[in-house]
Chain A
């Protein structure tokens, strides 16, 4: 049996007294991409924050490639090759675009090669590396967040609504980039999306979350996936 890239066992989590994620178990194999779907307030973002260690687990355990990360602090989780593109813009607005991208890398020497790989996806950054991140528009900041997550060449990447506020052509390019990343580096992905077609295009498998529990899952490529998902999102 292959070792899971990410394995959640009976994880419960939430804020203060309220439980948002309930007794959730999930297993993602290396190289697999899973779309995490569901209406608002169903616990999707809470789950990612819990995996990353920003929220303490109330119960259950999280393993990454066989290692227990249940109690690790966020920076230690990140050091295991897990990157997280948060929904709230988590950029250093007073630093340049280059510095924001550079901060995800171990050494500066890697910058040239890694940037060259993502540059075709985000041509807007090419001539603007010295500009402050804070002066970028909302959508451009979102792109920078995704670019940083990808440049880290993570083994597991958690993406929280990265297409929000982006123009259609950029969404297309990101979709292509994610697929290529999977192919070249065998990256495991957990993707939260409201843009269902985008999520299904990138992912192998989808999971629908309702009230913090998994209510449905299936192959992203199956014929009935879209309509099954929309049924869940409606009610």
Chain B
């Protein structure tokens, strides 16, 4: 805080303490710093390593250069150049985002595209002939007639505004969505978050800001050159962010200013050595100080402190069970899944109603998890149809299935490892309560059955713990609570009690049976603990080698010879005797 005020004070009194050479460098550094902040939001917070932000900076700079060169300088052309800077950046970002983040694209692919973008942009500028000035760029156009101090204040104010805005957003509840995307995209889509859309919007927003910074740079310097959109600048931005401390905002903001100023002084004095020093420092920082230099410098001042305010849990009344209109909660018809010639699932016909708790049992490798995947992601099955609460899922992605009322708990705990328990649970509610871009809520509202899970496993006392530090069983329970926070109508539970003690299992069992019987949810449960299944399931479905071989009550199924041979072994027989 004090440091922030110090920075603001420096920006206000700068013109009286710095000479014009330093002011010149600082103004440019401020515009670069704004762009570095956008890189940090994308890379440090959202996990998207991008070399492409320089392209948007270049677009903004050339919007100013081109318009002022070819159309002269007037209030009208200023408005035109500004509009172009933003519109062109956003349009390119939307296109690049669409290409980079479509379903199933790997993060590596997105980074490669971000590297191609500035290269293409530079080539376009180079081949623009006289219109873009080719390799020498554009110079000598009329621009704003401001004094150096005024420019310094404008650039400084822009940096403060962008810095504060980014700081507020990344710390808000919506900002945690970015961190959850970085941690675990699959979990995000199973919480109903449209990950590609969030990323495209974020890229467009940061592109607009980088474009504006470029416009400022182009208007101030009166010179624009292809290097401004090049991948060298794109890479430098990454280096500044890494050196400053990625994921801190402070670090990249201060770091890029310091490096730019140092470069201005040292690159003329030791042109070769300076690049080498910068390169070696970069490698050292990556290896020794992954959090960057600035956090290390700030640590003695106690600015390193982590946020630790824990919200209070409140109960959110669960949506009343919708009157059963005769539509079954889940209908699967002729569902088949094959890998090449190998059929994992064959012609599955299954129906389940609200209020039912169906136990799905079968030998390991029978296709139980595959069956759950086919219910929850339209792209997964090879043939057949799936209806969730009357909606045909077609080829829709997981997040759309979640919106039809589906919740899925995975076999291995699938959570956000760097987030706290409370933050994980809040992410789970984003579909129902849109998170604020500016604030962090003081309370955390959850439906009663999610609270029951937290109480049964004593997670309610660990809301501030980071999920990664939880034990295996606690992570399982956390994921279950997250899925229930979605208030689903159909819950798929793949071994929800794995790693829990017998006592905890009994308590979770009570919660699950209340889901079905009291709250009228439709539950599908994969579980190997037959005692557990017996206590709560209303129907048992047996899957063997990809087909449903049997359905019925627990007694009918478990005592059948078929189940005894393929599945149960002596464990259950021993229990019968006891």
Assuming A138-B411, A165-B528, is B503 touching A170 (CB within 8 A)? Answer: no
Assuming A40-B501, A136-B365, A138-B411, is B572 touching A168 (CB within 8 A)? Answer: yes
Judged by a CB distance under 8 angstroms, whether B569 is at the interface is yes
Cβ contact within 8 Å between B499 and A161: yes
Residues of A within 8 A of B528 (CB): 139, 165-168
Residues of A within 8 A of B498 (CB): 164-165
Judged by a CB distance under 8 angstroms, whether B471 is at the interface is yes
Extra pairs beyond A138-B369, A168-B572, A234-B503 (12, CB < 8 Å): A89-B412, A138-B494, A140-B364, A161-B499, A167-B362, A168-B530, A168-B567, A168-B569, A171-B571, A172-B570, A196-B502, A233-B501
Q: Which one of B365, B412, B503 has the highest number of Cβ atoms from chain A below 10 Å of its Cβ?
A: B365
Cβ contact within 8 Å between A137 and B474: no
Which residues in window 533-574 of B have CB below 8 A to A? Answer: 567-572
Judged by a CB distance under 8 angstroms, whether B500 is at the interface is yes
Which residues in window 23-45 of A have CB below 8 A to B? Answer: 39-42, 45
Q: Which one of A18, A40, A161, A169 has the highest number of Cβ atoms from chain B below 10 Å of its Cβ?
A: A40
What's the Cα separation between A41 and B458 when bound, in Å? 11
Judged by a CB distance under 8 angstroms, whether B328 is at the interface is no
Residue A169 contacts which of B367, B457, B567 (CB distance < 8 angstroms)? B567
Judged by a CB distance under 8 angstroms, whether A152 is at the interface is no
Assuming A39-B501, A41-B471, A41-B473, is B365 touching A168 (CB within 8 A)? Answer: no
Cβ contact within 8 Å between A167 and B472: no
Question: Distance in Å from the Cβ of B478 to the closest Cβ of chain A?
Answer: 11
> Which residue of chain B is the closest to A169 with respect to CB atoms?
B569
Assuming A40-B474, A45-B472, A167-B528, is B364 touching A139 (CB within 8 A)? Answer: yes
Residues of A within 8 A of B503 (CB): 230, 233-234
Residues of A within 8 A of B469 (CB): 15, 18
Residues of chain B having any CB pair with chain A under 8 Å: 339, 362-370, 411-412, 457, 469-474, 494-495, 498-504, 528, 530, 567-572
Residues of A within 8 A of B370 (CB): 137
Cβ contact within 8 Å between A167 and B570: no
Judged by a CB distance under 8 angstroms, whether A93 is at the interface is no
> Which residue of chain B is the closest to A18 with respect to CB atoms?
B469
Residues of A within 8 A of B500 (CB): 40, 194
What's the Cα separation between A230 and B502 when bound, in Å? 8
Cβ contact within 8 Å between B369 and A137: yes
Which residues in window 108-128 of A have CB below 8 A to B? Answer: 124
Judged by a CB distance under 8 angstroms, whether A183 is at the interface is no
Residues of B within 8 A of A169 (CB): 363, 567-571
18 contacts between A and B (CB under 8 A): A40-B473, A40-B500, A40-B504, A87-B472, A136-B365, A142-B364, A161-B472, A165-B528, A167-B363, A167-B528, A168-B569, A168-B571, A169-B363, A169-B569, A171-B569, A194-B499, A196-B502, A230-B502
Question: Distance in Å from the Cβ of A62 to the closest Cβ of chain B?
Answer: 22
What's the Cα separation between A40 and B568 when bound, in Å? 27
What's the Cα separation between A42 and B499 when bound, in Å? 13
Q: How large is the interface on A (under 10, 10 to 19, 20 to 34, 35 or more residues)?
A: 35 or more
Residues of A within 8 A of B495 (CB): 138, 164-165
What's the Cα separation between A45 and B472 when bound, in Å? 9
Question: Distance in Å from the Cβ of A135 to the closest Cβ of chain B?
Answer: 7
Residues of A within 8 A of B362 (CB): 167
Residues of B within 8 A of A194 (CB): 473, 499-502
Question: Distance in Å from the Cβ of B35 to the closest Cβ of chain A?
Answer: 34
Residues of B within 8 A of A106 (CB): none
Residue A172 contacts which of B365, B366, B571 (CB distance < 8 angstroms)? B571
What's the Cα separation between A194 and B369 when bound, in Å? 22
Question: Distance in Å from the Cβ of A201 to the closest Cβ of chain B?
Answer: 11
> Which residue of chain A is the closest to B506 with respect to CB atoms?
A234
Assuming A40-B504, A41-B470, is B365 touching A164 (CB within 8 A)? Answer: no
What's the Cα separation between A82 and B436 when bound, in Å? 51
Produce 1/0 per residue, A57-72, CB < 8 A to B: 0000000000000000
What's the Cα separation between A143 and B364 when bound, in Å? 9
Task: Please name the 8 residue pairs, one residue from A and one from B, whose CB atoms are nearest each other, closest first.
Answer: A169-B569, A139-B364, A40-B473, A41-B471, A168-B571, A172-B569, A40-B471, A138-B411
Cβ contact within 8 Å between A168 and B568: yes
What's the Cα separation between A151 and B478 when bound, in Å? 35
What's the Cα separation between A143 and B500 when bound, in Å? 20
Q: Which one of B364, B365, B368, B470 has the highest number of Cβ atoms from chain A below 10 Å of its Cβ?
A: B364
Which residues in window 153-186 of A have CB below 8 A to B? Answer: 161, 164-173
What's the Cα separation between A45 and B469 when bound, in Å? 12
What's the Cα separation between A194 and B473 when bound, in Å? 10
Residues of A within 8 A of B504 (CB): 39-40
What's the Cα separation between A89 and B412 when bound, in Å? 9
Cβ contact within 8 Å between B472 and A137: no
Q: Which one of A15, A45, A139, A161 has the highest number of Cβ atoms from chain B below 10 Å of its Cβ?
A: A139
What's the Cα separation between A168 and B568 when bound, in Å? 5
Assuming A87-B472, A172-B571, is B412 touching A140 (CB within 8 A)? Answer: no
Question: Distance in Å from the Cβ of B98 to the closest Cβ of chain A?
Answer: 30
What's the Cα separation between A171 and B363 when bound, in Å? 11
What's the Cα separation between A39 and B458 when bound, in Å? 11
What's the Cα separation between A137 and B528 when bound, in Å? 14
Question: Distance in Å from the Cβ of A42 to the closest Cβ of chain B?
Answer: 8
> Which residue of chain B is the closest to A14 with respect to CB atoms?
B469
> Which residue of chain A is the closest to B569 with respect to CB atoms?
A169
Produce 1/0 per residue, A206-229, CB < 8 A to B: 000000000000000000000000
> Which residue of chain B is the closest to A44 with respect to CB atoms?
B471
Residues of A within 8 A of B412 (CB): 88-89, 138
Question: Distance in Å from the Cβ of A57 to the closest Cβ of chain B?
Answer: 18
Assuming A45-B471, A168-B569, A171-B571, is B364 touching A124 (CB within 8 A)? Answer: yes
What's the Cα separation between A15 and B370 when bound, in Å? 35
Residues of A within 8 A of B568 (CB): 167-169
Question: Distance in Å from the Cβ of B378 to the closest Cβ of chain A?
Answer: 22
